[in-house]
Structure 1
């Protein structure tokens, strides 16, 4: 067989070391994910790092640095499709982005190992673990901080319920109130309800003063034709 004739013990040892480094570092990254009960855990990250290392090593063996460069482009895109499989959208919430990013970083770690840069692979592994571990307290602090609506970029809506006879007049009043407060509506739509109509105004502004919206809602709530009024915000797409 050609493989026996062309067998090179030095190259074989080099490949063995590259794959071993990729497997060990991918396992370290995956262990942290497994501990936190993420969808892509120990085996997934270890295999992604191992596979990326193998592809890059094979490219180098066949075509040198040029081959490794070409393979890297396909590894990046291929792992991107793999990461997309762990991203889930539940209503307005998206889960799995961090897991997908970790898979991508595991591939880069393996690619470093496959390109005969074990020190850089170890460095990359360390940064991935640091990002997933030491940044968590900072994330928790930011998420628990009081939200200042004027500093956020969100989609704001004002909802007003009324009866069929007052819908047109109330729509004009709502639009006028928003224009007066310098919060013009990007869209005003209506939704039929059993007890009447709900008018929904989506603001053009992406940041507001909550007190000003409270004042608008309070003024609308005093109208006889209004059954209920409120405002809400959600993260911008």
Structure 2
């Protein structure tokens, strides 16, 4: 039974409390971006952004911890290539984000939501690798872009719609 318990809680290079804090941080920061998408009633909202950020953080943590696994400690030399982890997460999230982008009636929809998912993945990786300030700054910047520039876009669309002749307004 001790062997099973030891296998369930192996020695780690990063303390479990730090690992859990990083995962919670990824949940919170991914949730901040997802909340904005949810409020605007976009298809990928709160849960999607949280899951993307959490998964990316987990991949980052696992890649750091993989070099600590005792079975790798024999005669083999294990090296971590953080760029491969980043590439894998980027490719996976890009695949999900691409599924959000739709071309319909001559307009592209979902591009910002896809970009938000991609950013949530990057923020999750930053959390997973322990770059808390980078993750917090990126989240704050994303919220500013999504809220502030979103409001500005709405105002510009409204203002440009007022200058259209009445028959063109029906098409917008």
Name the TM-score class by shorter chain: 0.7 to 0.9
1:17 aligns with 2:21: yes
Is the alpha carbon distance of 1:92 and 1:18 closer, same or farther for their aligned partners in structure 2, counting shifts above 3 Å?
A: same
- Write 1 or 2 for the structure with the bigger share of strand: 1
State whether residues 45 and 103 of structure 1, in contact with CA within 8 Å, keep that contact through their aligned partners in structure 2: yes
**Paired residue secondary structure (1:75):** helix
State whether residues 49 and 108 of structure 1, in contact with CA within 8 Å, keep that contact through their aligned partners in structure 2: yes
Q: Aligned-residue CA RMSD in angstroms? A: 2.2
Q: Aligned runs of 1:133-152 on 2, under 5 Å?
A: 133-143=147-157, 144-145=159-160
Tell me by how many angstroms 1:126 deviates: 0.6
2:39 to 31, 35, 42: 35
2:54 to 50, 55, 76: 50
Is the alpha carbon distance of 1:31 and 1:141 closer, same or farther for their aligned partners in structure 2, counting shifts above 3 Å?
A: closer
* Unaligned ranges ≥5, structure 1: 147-237
TM-score by length of 2: 0.76
TM-score by length of 1: 0.56
1:103 aligns with 2:117: yes
Which residue does the alignment assign to 2:143?
129
Q: Aligned runs of 1:67-86 on 2, under 5 Å?
A: 67-86=81-100
State whether residues 60 and 67 of structure 1, in contact with CA within 8 Å, keep that contact through their aligned partners in structure 2: no
* Unaligned ranges ≥5, structure 2: 69-78, 162-172
More contact order relative to length (CA 8 Å, sep ≥ 6):
2
- Write 1 or 2 for the structure with the bigger share of helix: 2
